[in-house]
Chains A and B, each alone.
Chain A
């Protein structure tokens, strides 16, 4: 077992633990904290895959903005006041469905021969990445920014409420 593999298993374990914490925790605040853990661990995975830029973005966007938003939402909706009603009655079915999905995904991942697969991680230079993002993918990038703006405006309009409220 190489060092890389060891690091991977450690980070993967942290990720899975964070994920389980998100979905199993009995306290919503714990759930949120576990989410932060999972997100940061995924950033670690990104680093392992030599996608430094994405890891950075991950930490900035998720670790910062998204989790803050989620915690705000939790606070505003006071979910923590009703801990008994966290899980829905279809929980057993949910478990079965998730298990089925897991089985299918693992089977697919292991059972498929991937064409053109290389055995090592091919680092993608940041320069090439930026080049591609702002040349080849410039238009989708701009559209994505438009989506963000529209979402932002929409969120404000929705959350502001009706006149006189």
Chain B
């Protein structure tokens, strides 16, 4: 019987597919796309017995969570175990990752058709799925870190998938380097925890932390460093700059990696280690809230003025990730995870929808689009569902999930935070509706692209439809009745929340405020951008400074560029000089030159005449004999 102990299979199947594709991919029929899809499909199917087993175990009190794994290193008291564990957090991530990955890969069959590196794309996708599933299944920090870097590497490969385009190569490099800054923090944090507790195991670390083996400042430093990893991976301020550029990759990649799965790994990491955050100084959680809030606000405003359809969706992703961080900052794991769950579906839907637009028109700038609903009614409808879900219009999933976060901020945070969150709901409605209006309504601004446009093939629309259905209904799981009907005792909120049971709740007043904000946003968008979009242009002309600030992404890219030019490159030049002059010329070449010179001198000792050598031998024997007779006796 499949159970939790076999959960490692979920990650092993795509890994096996990756290995086969890597070696035999080019010789397989259809470049092996079916193998990749079959592997992730099997992972998705295997998810259900794992879930059933977990529910059984939870029903019986005292049963241990499923563990499997093997000892990697065992040496003189040092033990390193690579293990897999399933718990409630993992389950949420598993279903999101396996389902979205399956949908995206099916979609890619249509989207990537005819690409010269079609097989390589699916190879990378399999590797990504394997790494991502390992990341969520890992029961220790070390395996988690390995998988963490694995998904980062896949992200690098896939952003730079069309690396013959310079901008794509640059974006891949930027994403990799930026996330690395956070990853270094994560690694240091993990090492700090290991030094204090002597274990990499996550549960054991918690127990040790509860037992108080770490002083508060030490623990606080460690969790903030771990949070740094999450900041990089989940594109939080100030490391958010890579995610919009990551849209250079193929759209399915954006949907899977940069919307539904990899970028939420940071949220997952914080949720996973939240017990440590709670034990640490409150400053740690306040930092999470503050950065999340900054991210929410900045991304929302930037989303208002961007013109690239995928970039707008990317800013909405950063926005959502910020919201999740705010929820975690309030200690609300359930709210964050439910938002993560719902967000994965509607954000993947939005990306795949914009991918369909891109596929049909080969344009991604909304200034060149418009009126597309006449050509692509199905895509327009599905995209509209995604937009409304993201905007938080009831009864779509986005509303229920966002409501949890708004509620938690109203209960656990001060009025300022709450106000900003509500404001961000308004702005989200504004820019999401703007995106829809500019893309699908009005008069086509580029005749040629419009004539060229066509509805996407079924292999692309079917995953979209499935995602749209989930985007509509996924939010309903917040109701305990729905959760119990699905077999989760006491509702999903209780199920997911690790520390203490807390059901999802629904407050009419809070919900009303957020509905009003979202509706105001959507309607405001109609006012600003319907038709000729004159009010929007007028507003832009009236506040040129604000417009320029948003348009230039708060000048953060400029700031970083200046930082790199002024500081990093100067330092690098010094290192390069040091390496060339001191290490190379003096150290390496110097010693070689010394050897050459001295051997050039010493070679004259070699006369080549046998009697000289014989004389040397005799001399040596005499010396040795004298030594033996005088010193040794």
User: Are B618 and A88 within 8 A (Cβ)?
Assistant: no
A107 — which chain B residues lie within 8 A by C-beta? 629
Q: Which of B612, B622, B629 contacts A97 (CB 8 A)?
A: B622
B residues within 8 A CB of A93? 615
Closest Cβ neighbor of B612 among chain A residues? A90
How many Å lie between the Cα of A88 and that of B626 in the bound state?
Answer: 27
The answer to whether A94 and B615 touch across the interface, beta carbons within 8 angstroms, is: yes
Least Cβ–Cβ distance between B308 and chain A, in angstroms: 81
Total A-B pairs, Cβ < 8 A: 21
B62 at the interface (CB under 8 A from A): no
Interface residues on B, range: 10 to 19
- B513 interfacial by beta-carbon distance below 8 Å: no
Bound CA span A94–B614, Å: 10
| Given contact pairs A104-B625, A104-B626, A104-B629, A90 touches B615 in the complex (Cβ within 8 A) | yes
User: Given the complex, which residues of A lie within 8 Å of B567, measured CB to CB?
Assistant: none
User: Is residue A108 within 8 Å, beta carbon to beta carbon, of the partner chain?
Assistant: yes
Residues of the B chain whose Cβ atoms lie less than 8 Å from the Cβ of A108: 625, 629
Chain B residues contacting A94 (CB-CB under 8 Å) are 615
Q: Is B114 an interface residue (CB 8 A)?
A: no
Complex CA distance for A60 and B626, rounded to whole angstroms? 38
Min Cβ gap A102→B in Å is 11
B619 within 8 A of A: yes
A101 an interface residue at 8 Å Cβ cutoff? yes
For the complex, give the distance between the alpha carbons of A88 and B609 in Å. Answer: 11
Are B622 and A101 neighbours in the complex by a CB distance under 8 Å? yes
Q: Which residues of B contact A88 (CB under 8 A)?
A: 611
Interface SS of B by simple majority: helix
Q: Mark B355-394, 1 if CB is under 8 A from A, else 0.
A: 0000000000000000000000000000000000000000
Given A88-B611, A90-B611, A90-B612, A97 contacting B618 (CB threshold 8 A): yes
List of B residues within 8 angstroms of A104 by Cβ: 622, 625-626, 629
Q: Name the A residues within 8 Å of B611 (CB-CB).
A: 88, 90
B-facing residues in A5-20 (Cβ within 8 Å): none
Is B621 an interface residue, CB under 8 A from the partner?
Answer: yes
Give the complex CA separation of A100 and B621 in angstroms: 10
**A104 to B621 alpha-carbon distance, docked (Å):** 10
Query: B630 to chain A: closest CB distance in Å?
Result: 11
CA distance A3 to B618 in the complex (A): 38
Residues of A contacting B618 in the complex (Cβ-Cβ under 8 angstroms): 97, 101
Question: Are B625 and A97 in touch, CB under 8 angstroms?
Answer: no
* Whole-angstrom distance between the Cβ of A94 and the nearest chain B Cβ: 7
Given the known inter-chain contacts A90-B611, A94-B615, please indicate yes or no for A101 contacting B621, CB distance below 8 A. yes
Determine the chain B residues whose CB is within 8 A of the CB of A90 once the complex forms.
Answer: 611-612, 615
Task: Determine the chain A residues whose CB is within 8 A of the CB of B625 once the complex forms.
Answer: 104, 108
What is the CB-to-nearest-CB distance from B78 to chain A, in angstroms, rounded to a whole number? 52
Cβ of B615 and Cβ of A97 under 8 Å apart?
A: yes
**In the complex the two chains form, what is the Cα distance from A108 to B626 in whole Å?**
10
One digit per residue, 1 when the CB lies within 8 angstroms of any chain B CB and 0 when it does not, for chain A 37-80 equals 00000000000000000000000000000000000000000000
List residues of A whose CB falls within 8 A of some B CB: 88, 90, 93-94, 97, 100-101, 104, 107-108
Known pairs A88-B611, A97-B615, A104-B625; list 12 more (Cβ under 8 Å).
A90-B615, A93-B615, A94-B615, A97-B618, A97-B619, A100-B622, A101-B618, A101-B622, A104-B622, A104-B629, A107-B629, A108-B629
**21 CB < 8 A contacts A-B:** A88-B611, A90-B611, A90-B612, A90-B615, A93-B615, A94-B615, A97-B615, A97-B618, A97-B619, A97-B622, A100-B622, A101-B618, A101-B621, A101-B622, A104-B622, A104-B625, A104-B626, A104-B629, A107-B629, A108-B625, A108-B629
